[in-house]
Amino acid sequence: MTLPRTLFDKVWAAHVVTSRADGTDLLWVDRHFVHEGSHHAFRKISERGLAVAEPGLTFGVTDHYAPTRGAPANDEIAGMIRRLSANTGTHGVRHFAMGDPRQGIVHVIGPEQGLTLPGLLIVCGDSHTSTHGAFGAIAFGIGATEVAHVLATQTIWQKRPRSMRITFTGRLSPGVTPKDMALAWIARLGADGARGHAIEYAGDAVRALSMEGRLTLCNMSIEGGGRFGMVAPDETTFAYAEGRAYAPKGADWDRAVAYWAALRTDDSATFDREEVIDAAAIAPTVTWGTSPEQALPINAAIPAATTDQIADALAYMGLTAGQPLDGLPVDQVFIGSCTNARIEDLRAAAAILRGRKARVPGLVSPGSEAVRRQAEAEGLAQVFTEAGLDWVASGCSMCVGMNGDIVAPGKRCASTTNRNFKGRQGPGARTHLMSPAMVAAAAVTGTLTDVRKLMEGRA
């Protein structure tokens, strides 16, 4: 008899090459994404006279330092971009470089190109690799030394994490999005609430999400301490993946879908931890502090400084206890990042902005060049520019402040990104995380605003 297994159990077991006595497993890697920061790893294997073990399974992506307006921010950044091109060229690795019509943020173009598929094990030197778990894949970020190991062997040593299921029951209310779901569970459980766990998202509210919504939810797993997040593949997954450039074709597709359909948690399988959240109780949510866990419904007020951590966050953010979140002035807005820069995100923001003017400046950076072209074809880019926002090229942009797109010291930004740490968007920058529609509402009013006030009569 085969014991009941979770989705995580099944995918992990399929990738174990061998195991050590201490419980660490050597795992086969199906997809390895590398970006500009990988030059250290390429240098390591070069010093040892090694080649990339599986160049056909490794993909280079220029995203973190990609300029969205004009040339690279400085010579050092330009050099990093050139080194990625040189390293991938030397080792015969496919590179989605600047100027390539498929270029974009790695966690956007992986699914978009069909490189991300159910049942795979995917790694990248970036913590938000958890995004790809939306397909029922195991996907996680790795460090520079591990990147070198994967380049040289196409394997990685990992200790098996504990398992956790977060079930969202019921339905989301109008104006509430996957970003709100993510912020809600992180606020409830804490930034370390899922520490060391493989998370499976389940429940009716998750099943009702589009693939792009699931990608957003899995993207934020790391912000709640999770090792990675997963959603079991279903017809929504298959419909999204079918026909994409790197997806299986013909009979291979039929065989793949038959295998993928079995990648689900068995009915009697157990998890190390279970959490249940009522989706209907979630409201549009924003962060007020310097950690994603410091988030509240938009109709709440800034909390009292009951701990040193809260006091420090309030001081950095220039806030006082009791201030309402709704109506808090912002200086600028940003729509972009691997969390919320896909076509559905841009449509949601444009639905609020259409026919309205932004009261504050802002930047909109699509998640990929393919998303940019589609947004322009649908007239979304025109909506943004007519509202007074800047429409720029694809890349990580203002999420990380590495490429010239930054928030000035002391300025407050309503942002669709995934981290609101001190200095994340620039030294002294004050970041409030929220959904694309909520950022659009902030642009229109110049304040943090409940988007539901602006939704009447709009899709």
134-188 tens-digit pLDDT? 999 999 999 999 999 999 999 999 999 999 999 999 999 999 999 999 999 999 9
Residue 131 lies in a domain: yes
Residue 84 lies in a domain: yes
Residue 279 lies in a domain: no
Residue 1 lies in a domain: no
**Among residues 251, 274, 297, which one ends one of the domains?**
274
Backbone angles phi, psi at 444, to 5 degrees: -70, -40
pLDDT in tens, 15-73: 999 999 999 999 999 999 999 999 999 999 999 999 999 999 999 999 999 999 988 98
Q: Are residues 119 and 222 in the same domain?
A: yes
Residue 2 lies in a domain: no
Starting at the edge strand found earlier in the chain, the sheet holding 362-364 runs 390-391, 362-364, 332-335, 412-415, 430-433
Integer CA distances (angstroms), 36 to 10, 43, 441, in order? 33, 13, 34
Q: Are residues 250 and 311 in the same domain?
A: no
Cross-strand pairs, 155 = 28
**Long-range interactions of 71-80: CB distance < 8 A, separation 24+:** 72/403, 72/404, 73/402, 73/403, 73/404, 77/402, 77/403, 80/36, 80/37, 80/39
How far is the C-alpha of 398 from the C-alpha of 32, rounded, in Å? 25
**Among residues 232, 247, 274, which one ends one of the domains?**
274
Using an 8 Å Cβ cutoff, are 62 and 168 in contact? no
pLDDT band at 112 (very low <50, low <70, confident <90, very high): very high
pLDDT band at 2 (very low <50, low <70, confident <90, very high): confident
pLDDT at 423: 96
Q: What is the mean pLDDT of residues 433-456?
A: 97
Q: Are residues 247 and 338 in the same domain?
A: no
Q: Are residues 241 and 293 in the same domain?
A: no
When the pLDDT of each residue in the chain is averaged and rounded to a whole number, the result is 97
Q: Are residues 247 and 297 in the same domain?
A: no
The residue among 459 and 263 whose pLDDT is bigger is: 263
Q: Which domain holds residue 436?
A: 286-454
The count of domains in the chain is: 2
Residue 359 lies in a domain: yes
Q: Are residues 311 and 419 in the same domain?
A: yes
Crossing angle, helix 380-387 and helix 369-377, to 10 degrees? 80
How far is the C-alpha of 171 from the C-alpha of 249, rounded, in Å? 35
Amino acid identity of 284?
P
Q: Are residues 357 and 403 in the same domain?
A: yes
pLDDT at 14: 98
How far is the C-alpha of 362 from the C-alpha of 332, rounded, in Å? 5
Q: Are residues 233 and 307 in the same domain?
A: no
pLDDT at 1: 58
Percent of the chain with pLDDT over 70: 99
Q: Are residues 344 and 265 in the same domain?
A: no
**Among residues 211, 244, 274, which one ends one of the domains?**
274
Residue 29 lies in a domain: yes
Q: Are residues 243 and 330 in the same domain?
A: no
Which CATH number characterizes residue 146's domain? 3.30.499.10
Backbone angles phi, psi at 155, to 5 degrees: -135, 165
Q: Are residues 369 and 252 in the same domain?
A: no
pLDDT in tens, 327-376: 999 999 999 999 999 999 999 999 999 999 999 999 999 999 999 999 99
Q: Are residues 315 and 177 in the same domain?
A: no
Residue 281 lies in a domain: no
